[in-house]
Amino acid sequence: MSAPIRALVGLGNPGPKYADQRHNVGFWLVDGLARAAGEPFREQRRFKSELAQIEFGGEPLWLLKPGTFMNRSGDAVQPFAAFYKLAPSELLVVHDDLDLPPGTIRLKRGGGHGGHNGLRDITRAIGPDFARLRIGIGHPGDKSRVLGYVLAAPTREEAGELADGLARAVAGLELMMREGWDKATQYLHTRGDT
């Protein structure tokens, strides 16, 4: 899985009702990258998505926001990847992670879905060999509270931690594009996150 990353897929639920929810941090990251590059997202009905292309870290990079709900993310990712002839290993899926403290960032190649419905559906559609950028949102402590927790806005303190984490994620992604996966992983995984 040494192919360069050619597309970032930010996961979230579409529409203003969901925009500020923890589950949408994948959208937050790709929205920030598009905004910084001055490139708007455009609706792509054939992919059930919004799509932008930017130059990032000296390389062209697709940004994809599925217009499906989280649990049907594969319905957007599969036709996009097929149309542009992208191998799963060329995709980096950006998603929220309950198992990491708020703002903690981790890169991962392949693996399971860990109970995340977006990852589960992408795996169904294209297999498990895509990379992941995990953005910690913390855990409510009680499994019965998880749904309400991910579908709620972060607290003020968490919002600050997430903003710091997203800034680190962008720096790590730029390092990945310029110097490779290992350098980015070393940077992101040794920044004092626990």
Q: Which residues are catalytic?
A: 23
In angstroms, the CA 119 to CA 66 distance is 12
Report yes or no: 111 and 132 within 8 Å, Cβ to Cβ: yes
In angstroms, the CA 106 to CA 11 distance is 16
DSSP code, position 155:
P
In angstroms, the CA 143 to CA 13 distance is 21
Report yes or no: 116 and 147 within 8 Å, Cβ to Cβ: no
Residue 80 CA, distance from chain mean position:
16
Give me the helices (H) in 84-155, please: 117-126, 146-150
Residues 6+ away with beta carbon under 8 Å from 155: none
